[in-house]
Structure 1
Amino acid sequence: MANILVVEDETIIRNALRRLLERHDFLVTEAGSVDEACKNDLTEFDLIISDLRLPGAEGTEMITRAPETPVLIMTSYASMRSAVDAMKLGAQDYIAKPFDHDEMVQTVKRILQQTQTQQTINQDTTGSTKGRATQLGQMVGQCAPMQQLYKQILKIAPTPVTVLIHGESGTGKELAAKAIHDHSSRAKAPMISVNCAAIPESLIESELFGHERGAFTGAVSARQGLVEAADGGTLFLDEIGELPMEAQARLLRVIQEREVRRVGTVHSRKVDIRLIAATHRNLQELVETGQFREDLYYRLQVIELKIPPLRVRGDDVLMIAEVLLDNYAKRMEVDTPNLSAQARQLISEYHWPGNVRELENAMQRALILSEGPEIDAAVLNIKARRPLVVQAGRAEPVAPVTNANSPAPTDGTVFEDASLEDYFVQFVLEHEEQMSETELAQKLGISRKNLWERRQRLGIPRRKGGKG
């Protein structure tokens, strides 16, 4: 049961807040000023809720008086300046008075959950894995890079700053964005996710910013854009490096002016969004080659996060595989099978060029094809696949992974049990410079959208210098 200190000089508000929190099984101690609050042992409290304007000293003084305890600031001066100042001084979050009861309870629970997760992460001070947090949101892992990522997310989530997430395809950039959103004050508002590379260039501006009736052929009615749909919440732009230059200019205006203008109108609409962007590409290199706006880049890189690829995460691979197996087994309403020793070894040694997304596919396929209570290495069907190493923005196939039960191929030998994905990789790498994306898709017998999705999963993004 969490112990909360309420510091509020108005008796009516203080009593009402105490009753509200007690109805939700919190222990509450009251104080009418900072001096009165400090008569208590502040280390005993899990959370301090303090009014900003108090007699004697302001409520932000509680931040320095209790540096190890999260402080939630209440203010009737609901200006962004008051909130930002409080956050800069170290407040965990702020809430405007008069506050909504549900909003207050949800904010309190969220801060307490954040604090508990952070304390679990901070327990790892000896370098051992004991005590490490194994999960944040839907992200799973306890390796050192993930522990650092968890800390960064919990630190920046309550702030309103723009975040740029870097990481290879399939590493879980959207899960990191979701964790930031869920641990922010916007958690109850929508998070709108947009894959900039999956929307045709001719439609991207209309999809993002909306359009008015008659703005172009086929616009039979006005339509709200995805930026407007995220008003009050979070807008997540995945693969921001694929955004066309014209759309980049419009997005820059949204960030700078906090307003959006639909296609076909001169009138702007105010929007309140928290922007999170993600990319697997080097935006600074795109800026240098004129493919990405420099001013937009510097607007996006306020805070940068790096998602580690699966191949450097050590034992996290097996942990994630077991979690995925358990989740899929529950969905299919079957018992969760065990991984054989050979299967565990193969999963640990494989390069996983498609990262977590490829691991998800492998676990789901293995669960469907396996017979009995154990998954054998043969069912995984990954020994024949050639991992991809991305160098200078281009994926290159390397020698296939082998194990003790599979003969090593010799020079000039065709890899007989090569998978369809191997064929896809080889075909794309050999022909992408001579063929357009449409021609590649037609030759492979798939749609352009399916071609793009496979490129992302296998770590072979389209080269900017190639044909369109």
Structure 2
Amino acid sequence: MPHILIVEDETIIRSALRRLLERNQYEVSEAGSVQEAQERFRIPDFDLIVSDLRLPGAPGTELIGLAKGAPVLIMTSYASLRSAVDSMKLGAVDYIAKPFDHDEMLQAVARILREREQRASSTEPPAKSAARTEKPAGSGEIGIIGSSPAMEDLFGKIRKVAPTDSNVLIQGESGTGKELVARALHNLSRRAKAPLISVNCAAIPETLIESELFGHEKGAFTGASAGRAGLVEAAHGGTLFLDEIGELPLEAQARLLRVLQEGEIRRVGSVQSQKVDVRLIAATHRDLKNLAKTAQFREDLYYRLHVISLKLPPLRERGADVSEIAHTLLARQAAQMGREDLRFTIDAEQVIRHYAWPGNVRELENAIERAVILSEGPDISAELLGIDIELDDLDDLDDGLSSRPSMSVSTNEPTENLSLEDYFQHFVLEHQDHMTETELARKLGISRKCLWERRQRLGIPRRKAGATSGS
């Protein structure tokens, strides 16, 4: 069982992350600072260190040297994204922006540990190493479950497109797996050993987006006390993934177009350009073509991005894939809970197959996780899934679990019982009566738009009329 060290000074986040990893069969130790980690543990003995960037005393990057080769995954808010990229230059294996989803963290941890094992296996005798790496053909290397015609077609396109340097536009609803596709395109390309830099354009304040992406020179604006490289430079030789590119301001779009046309960038405040070699993968849930027609998105940039377009079908259009994914998720949850006897009832199977799942795979996973926790016997019913409806009414539904208000988290609940999404909800409900939306977003390290989207997804209402507003 892999042994992971968490170094995080916020108790709620540390406890929630520990529980998440332990539920997924990892052995976990924790510390609140680099100094505490040094005093309590022999750091190189861990298979992975997950550390916040900003800690009391020494920063999390100090662990890179102390780990003596063990991989270090850095956690940071979007406000510190460039510092996280700098930490990769110091030797961190990757970074992850807070607040992150369960899947995002688990995928990063699994990938890092898998790559560590592969590096170790490369020192084995050739015959043994070859035997270990032989795998049947299929979608396994892509990392997305599915065998429906739409997904098989997508997998075929991914395999064809990945080895090229063509720009790719990934389109699909939230929760369909756009970032998984971007990672597959990178991992199957000749750039796989170079960085994959992922940027959520909707989560970076508009006033910072240009300096974050393209860097800036000293004195370019108030507070620019030193020159900094941008995220495009950080992706040199590798892949730049711009999620929610439809949210990119027009001025930043013009700079990005220069990158695609000329292969060069110009830092904010600079008169000189420099060459960069990056492959661009963009994703959006919006209709960029219509945005271009209304001058909300540059038409020339749209056509530059639209060299290859990959469309991810929503879960409701993937036929039997829904059942396959549900059974895979149930098996995973059962293994985590030590309950191999769990099974769906007939009514649950029917609901899973025919329900629209507006929140796609994330909504399905949340429903199954909740059902497993609440179940007292081996049967997982439709009622446990939280879809208390008549099967005859399924086709008429236009909303589902995502429209149900989430259960309020008591501020007195022990922090060790909070999941990562519980922490977000707990924080917002506890502080929204005396903090503006801007202050809440800043404390959570996200944009106001991202805060609004998470409120919608988790069913957290805004404060009552008359309370302090950040609008």
Kept in 2: contact 1:135–1:142 (CA 8 A):
no
Q: Return closer, same or farther for 1:399/1:140 CA change in 2, 3 Å cut-off.
A: closer
Kept in 1: contact 2:171–2:309 (CA 8 A):
yes
Match of 1:318 in 2: 323
Match of 1:87 in 2: none
Q: Unmatched 5+ residue regions in structure 2?
A: 1-121, 391-395, 409-431, 442-447, 460-470
**SS of alignment partner, residue 197 of structure 1:** helix
Kept in 1: contact 2:174–2:359 (CA 8 A):
yes
Amino acid at match of 1:258: G
Amino acid at match of 1:197: A
Amino acid at match of 2:287: N
Kept in 1: contact 2:139–2:155 (CA 8 A):
no
Corresponding position: 1:216 with 2:221: yes
C-alpha deviation, 1:205, in angstroms: 0.9
Kept in 2: contact 1:383–1:400 (CA 8 A):
no
Kept in 2: contact 1:209–1:224 (CA 8 A):
yes
Match of 1:195 in 2: 200
Match of 2:404 in 1: 419
Kept in 1: contact 2:168–2:305 (CA 8 A):
yes
C-alpha deviation, 1:280, in angstroms: 1.1
The structure, 1 or 2, with the larger RCO (C-alpha pairs under 8 Å, 6+ apart) is: 2
Residues of 2 paired with 1:224 and 1:371: CA distance? 54
Kept in 2: contact 1:384–1:419 (CA 8 A):
no
Corresponding position: 1:354 with 2:355: no
Q: Return closer, same or farther for 1:261/1:149 CA change in 2, 3 Å cut-off.
A: same
Give runs of aligned pairs for residues 8-87 of structure 1, distance below 5 A: none
C-alpha deviation, 1:289, in angstroms: 0.2
C-alpha deviation, 1:454, in angstroms: 4.8
Kept in 1: contact 2:343–2:378 (CA 8 A):
yes
Q: Return closer, same or farther for 1:228/1:375 CA change in 2, 3 Å cut-off.
A: same
Give runs of aligned pairs for residues 400-411 of structure 1, distance below 5 A: none
TM-score normalised by the chain length of structure 2: 0.56
Match of 1:235 in 2: 240
Kept in 1: contact 2:142–2:155 (CA 8 A):
no
**SS of alignment partner, residue 242 of structure 2:** strand
C-alpha deviation, 1:233, in angstroms: 0.9
**SS of alignment partner, residue 379 of structure 1:** coil
Residues of 1 paired with 2:364 and 2:153: CA distance? 23
Q: Deviations over 1:17-46 (max 9, x none)?
A: xxxxxxxxxxxxxxxxxxxxxxxxxxxxxx
Match of 2:376 in 1: 371
Match of 2:19 in 1: none
Kept in 1: contact 2:168–2:309 (CA 8 A):
yes
Residues of 2 paired with 1:322 and 1:211: CA distance? 49
Residues of 2 paired with 1:195 and 1:360: CA distance? 22
Q: Return closer, same or farther for 1:401/1:265 CA change in 2, 3 Å cut-off.
A: closer
**Matching residue within 273, 298, 301 for 1:268:** 273
Task: Determine what percentage of the aligned residue pairs are the same residue.
Answer: 56
Match of 2:164 in 1: 159
C-alpha deviation, 1:363, in angstroms: 2.3
Greater share of helix:
2
**Matching residue within 367, 370, 388 for 1:383:** 388
Q: Unmatched 5+ residue regions in structure 1?
A: 1-101, 118-132, 386-396, 403-417, 424-437, 459-467
Q: Return closer, same or farther for 1:323/1:223 CA change in 2, 3 Å cut-off.
A: farther
Kept in 1: contact 2:405–2:458 (CA 8 A):
no
Give runs of aligned pairs for residues 168-183 of structure 1, distance below 5 A: 168-183=173-188
Corresponding position: 1:342 with 2:347: yes
Residues of 1 paired with 2:179 and 2:267: CA distance? 26
C-alpha deviation, 1:139, in angstroms: 0.8
C-alpha deviation, 1:204, in angstroms: 1.0
Which range is displaced more, 219-228 or 288-297?
219-228
Q: Deviations over 1:205-255 (max 9, x none)?
A: 121112233322233333221111111111111111111000000100111
TM-score normalised by the chain length of structure 1: 0.56
Match of 2:260 in 1: 255
C-alpha deviation, 1:366, in angstroms: 2.3
Amino acid at match of 1:374: D
**SS of alignment partner, residue 140 of structure 1:** coil
Residues of 2 paired with 1:213 and 1:206: CA distance? 11
**Matching residue within 318, 326, 332 for 1:327:** 332
Q: Return closer, same or farther for 1:159/1:198 CA change in 2, 3 Å cut-off.
A: same
Q: Deviations over 1:121-157 (max 9, x none)?
A: xxxxxxxxxxxx4645221100000010011111111
Match of 1:59 in 2: none
Amino acid at match of 1:226: L
Match of 1:451 in 2: 452
Q: Return closer, same or farther for 1:276/1:456 CA change in 2, 3 Å cut-off.
A: farther
Amino acid at match of 1:270: K
Corresponding position: 1:308 with 2:313: yes
**SS of alignment partner, residue 188 of structure 1:** coil
Residues of 1 paired with 2:248 and 2:141: CA distance? 29
Q: Deviations over 1:265-289 (max 9, x none)?
A: 2232321111111111111111110
Match of 2:292 in 1: 287
Q: Deviations over 1:264-316 (max 9, x none)?
A: 22232321111111111111111110001111111101111111110011110
C-alpha deviation, 1:328, in angstroms: 4.1
Residues of 2 paired with 1:163 and 1:196: CA distance? 16
Match of 1:244 in 2: 249
Residues of 1 paired with 2:286 and 2:211: CA distance? 24
Corresponding position: 1:141 with 2:146: yes
Residues of 1 paired with 2:172 and 2:293: CA distance? 20
Amino acid at match of 2:162: A
Q: Return closer, same or farther for 1:159/1:401 CA change in 2, 3 Å cut-off.
A: closer
Query: What is the alpha-carbon root mean square deviation over aligned residues?
Result: 3.5
C-alpha deviation, 1:453, in angstroms: 3.3
Q: Return closer, same or farther for 1:399/1:171 CA change in 2, 3 Å cut-off.
A: closer
Residues of 1 paired with 2:298 and 2:139: CA distance? 38
